[in-house]
Structure 1
Amino acid sequence: MTYKMLILSLCLGFHLSAQATIYKWQDANGETHYSSTPPDNSNVTTIQPQTKPSSSAEQERARMKKIQSDLQKTQEQEAAAKDKTKKEAEEQRLRAINCDRAQTHLAAIESRPRIRMQYSQGTELLTPEQRDEEIKKTKEDIEKYCSPPKQTTP
């Protein structure tokens, strides 16, 4: 919104300055003077400054539409970048939580020779092979969650 107001102010300012009248006169010594206000007692010539022709209303509308579309594209790009940053931060937070859980789980499994696992059907005492498999799976989880994520190229 402030961007639009700035453009409007600049356009009005340029329009008003283009309407200024310039006066030319010679003083008693024969020197030529130029001013925006005429003297009271001299022969004054009015000079209209040369201005470039103003663009048509259609050209102005087209120019303003282009400016607005550029502004909208920029805002959309900024919003997309913010969303991406927010998503990456959330993924990083979840990776850290999963890393901590996996490390805690591995420490618990390795510190106890006999592990009892709680399932929805009940509890079960793990065999040494199942314990080794659980350790292997947990180490894979640690590798997955505790190492930096792989960068994807666009």
Structure 2
Amino acid sequence: MKTLFALSLLTIFALNARAELNKWVDEDGVVHYSDTRPAGVNADTVRNVTGKDTAATPANDKPKSYVEREVELKKALQEKQAVNDKLAREKAAQEERQHNCINAQESLRTLESGTRLSAYDAKGEKYYLDDAAREQRLRDAREAIRANCD
């Protein structure tokens, strides 16, 4: 009796395991899904419900050797190091731009303050900036702010 009951349950589940899901659109444009194909309607089989699909296994299924794994590990480490180096260069460039921005802003404030400015020439002698030199330095400071400040 128990064997017959178990056998009938297995038969029922086996029939459901091969179920298909059909999709069709009626005259009103409503999409319907069913396990049976309707008569006189063009129905598409959406999927074959047979359980989980197994991915095709590659023909070369043998495990990788120690040398192959070592090569892959070294390659991954090199790629990671390259990414870290790139990030470090970008961070250094950002810090340099920020430093240049601060210097340009300070220079602009000094030049716009109207005080008399002096500088030293190649011989080490002190000279005072005339209006043309001040205007040129103002333009340079504004350009540096545009280039380095966000």
- The aligned residue for residue 85 of structure 1 is 87
Q: Deviations over 1:39-81 (max 9, x none)?
A: xxxxxxxxxxxxxxxxxxxx87x73222111111000011111
1:128 aligns with 2:131: yes
- The aligned residue for residue 111 of structure 1 is 113
Whichever residue aligns with residue 127 of structure 2, its letter is E
In 2: Cα distance, 1:119 partner to 1:89 partner: 35
Number of equivalenced pairs: 88
Taking only aligned residues, the RMSD between alpha carbons, in angstroms, comes to 1.9
Normalising by structure 1, we get a TM-score of 0.51
Higher helix share: 1
- The aligned residue for residue 68 of structure 2 is 66
- The aligned residue for residue 144 of structure 1 is 147
Q: Which runs of 5+ in 1 are unaligned?
A: 1-58, 148-154
Moved over 6 A (4+): none
Higher relative contact order (CA 8 A, sep 6+): 2
Q: Once the 2 structures are TM-superposed, how far is the Cα of residue 113 of structure 1 from its aligned partner?
A: 4.9
Whichever residue aligns with residue 76 of structure 2, its letter is T
Report the 3-state secondary structure (helix = DSSP H, G, I; strand = E; otherwise coil) of the residue aligned with 1:124: strand
1:96 aligns with 2:98: yes
Report the 3-state secondary structure (helix = DSSP H, G, I; strand = E; otherwise coil) of the residue aligned with 1:112: coil
Whichever residue aligns with residue 146 of structure 2, its letter is E
Whichever residue aligns with residue 118 of structure 1, its letter is Y
Report the 3-state secondary structure (helix = DSSP H, G, I; strand = E; otherwise coil) of the residue aligned with 2:65: helix
Normalising by structure 2, we get a TM-score of 0.53
